[in-house]
Amino acid sequence: MKVKHWVKRKLLQFIAFGCANPHVSNLPTGRLYGGKWKQFCNPGLNCYSCPAARFACPVGAMQAVSGSMDFKFSFYAAGMLLAFGVILGRAVCGWLCPFGLFQELLHKIPSPKAGLKKCFLWIKYVVLVVFVLLLPILATNYMGMGKPAFCQYICPAGTLEGGLLLLGTHPELRQTIGPLFGLKAGILIGVILGSIFIYRFFCRVLCPLGAIYGFMNRFSMCHLEVDPRRCVSCGACHKACRMEVDPVKKPDSMECIRCGDCVQACPKDAIYVGFRGKAGNKQSAAGNGRASLVKKRKENHV
């Protein structure tokens, strides 16, 4: 029996969610897991202040080190991100990220669906540079310690998994609620509403991990290939892509999360996502053929 592609992906996403948050017994008490696994980074966005979390969030780890008194850059977190990126690229977003799964589930709520203007896609790069890389180093206190600016001012995963859960279990923390938490709660509500109407709203607009892994898409071992000999330029892949990527024009698009929806939609079995080229070593052929495919598609449209 062949398991459907979307079932496989959803299953893996839930397994990844479970692996990132196995300490469910901590939820009623609000006690954080304090074992050795917490020094390792999770590939996807998952707040380390969540009582159920086993691993550290890579964005939080990056800011924690670069905001510390001793160091101004985290080679460890950068190395982890680079390693995940080289192996998987944005397949991390599509298959392993807990917050990505949360947004996909929200998008299943019946409602009118909308696309996203391309100009919004650049915001996440600004967020990465300003809030994750620069502010923790530049905005320091008298001790030379920087703030985890992305976590503090933006991260909706932290508000949901850390803030709200801990407020529920620690009544004394409720006295610390102020305008900052109001801002973060507003961002979380915005992200939830945005994700209902727009597919993976946060991943595409705000997520610094999406920005990093998107950049790594062109180098990653997990890649997307289009076989130019099979492709008939019907455009079915482009229509099927909920990230609004055209795999024929841009197989290495920074927005492609390697979900494989285009593979399923292709009537000619011309698209491959994985670690080895289905069409043999045809990357160069695909590269050469891409221009002719785009030309062919333009002719079809004319």
Partner 1 sequence: MRMMMALIACGFILYGTVRGEMEIVWNKAVHICLECIGLG
Q: In whole angstroms, how close is the CB of 123 to partner 1 at the nearest point?
A: 20
Contacts of range 272-275, beta carbons closer than 8 Å, 24 or more positions apart: 272/224, 272/225, 272/226, 272/227, 273/91, 273/222, 273/223, 273/224, 273/225, 274/222, 274/223, 275/221, 275/222, 275/223
d(CA 223, CA 119): 25
- Minimum CB–partner distance for residue 56 and partner 1 (Å): 4
Tell me whether residue 2 or residue 36 sits nearer to partner 1 (CB atom). 36
Nearer to partner 1, 64 or 196 (CB): 64
| C-alpha dihedral, 93 to 155 to 131 to 133, nearest 10° | -50
Given the complex with partner 1, which of 78 and 134 has the nearer CB atom? 78
Contacts of 109 (CB under 8 A, 6+ apart): 196
Contact 53, 166 (CB under 8 A): no
Structural contact between residues 201 and 113, judged by C-beta atoms closer than 8 angstroms: no
Min dist CB 110 to partner 1, Å, is 31
Cα–Cα distances (Å) from 237 to 95, 167, 244, 302, in that order, read 19, 44, 10, 19
Contact status, residue 100 vs residue 13, Cβ threshold 8 Å = yes
Q: Which of 130, 124, 133, 156 is nearest to 65 (CA)?
A: 133
Distance in Å, CB of 221 to partner 1, minimum: 7
Greatest alpha-carbon pair distance for the chain in Å reads 66
Complex with partner 1: residue 78 or 232, whichever CB lies closer = 78
Between CA 188 and CA 8 the distance in angstroms is: 29
Q: Which residues bind partner 1 (CB under 8 A)?
A: 32-34, 36, 38-39, 41, 47-49, 53, 56-57, 60-61, 64-65, 68, 70-71, 74-80, 82-83, 85-86, 147-148, 151-153, 158-159, 162-163, 166-167, 170, 173, 176-178, 180-181, 183-185, 216, 219-221
Structure tokens at 133: 């890389």
- Shortest distance, CB of residue 143 to partner 1, whole angstroms? 14
SS3 139: coil
Closer to partner 1 by Cβ: residue 11 or 177: 177
**Closest CB to partner 1 among 116 and 254?**
254
Would you say 82 or 234 has its CB closer to partner 1? 82
